[in-house]
Amino acid sequence: MSMSETVAIAADHGGFDLKSILVPELRALGFAVLDLGTMNSDAVDYPDMAETLAATLREGRAQRGVLVCGTGIGMSIAVNRHRELRGALVHDALTARLARQHNDANVLVLGGRILGPELAKDCLRTFFTTGFDGGRHARRVAKLS
């Protein structure tokens, strides 16, 4: 039996609607999905959700992650406080592709109040189907952690 990669996803209330759209999209890409919440539109604090996702990756319960808040900015700031995580706030397929090819980003960050659902799905698909280019980029990424 082949083991599929697990992707953890978390959002605050500003990202809850988009998270609901992205979970089935991740499953359609063949990933096991660990949905860490939030599970409704009641207000929660984005740093708490980012910490939960960071702990999940640190413990090896998922290999990569997705974070969604209203703008993506708060989640991006929060997740990049963890040296082993490289969160990329992405706005289109180009930034999604380069976040993987150049930065080996392991957490995709999206703004649920910024992106429409089709654009967000395009970002998700591109991010999770693009590999790291390595080479000169590997040296630079190694300097991050």
Binding site for ligand RB5 (CB under 6 A): 12, 14, 46, 69-71, 73-74
Catalytic annotation present for 137: no
Residue 58: both structure tokens together: 């640190």
**Alpha-carbon distance 90 to 58, whole Å?**
23
- Which residue among the candidates 69, 82, 91, 123 is catalytic per the annotation? 69
CA of 61: how far to CAs of 5, 6, 10, 41, 110, in Å? 10, 7, 14, 25, 22
Report the nearest approach of ligand RB5 to the CB of residue 12 (Å): 5
CB of 51 or CB of 133, closer to ligand RB5: 51
Taking the least distance from each CB to ligand RB5, the nearer of 6 and 44 is 44
CB of 112 to ligand RB5, least distance (A): 7
Our CA angle for 37, 57, 34, nearest 5°, is 35
Known active-site residue 102: yes
Nearest to 49 by CA among 62, 39, 60, 59: 39
Residue 124 three-state SS = helix
| Least distance to ligand RB5, CB of residue 74, Å | 3
**Comparison of 82 and 104: residue with beta carbon closer to ligand RB5:** 82
> What residues are annotated to the active site?
69, 102
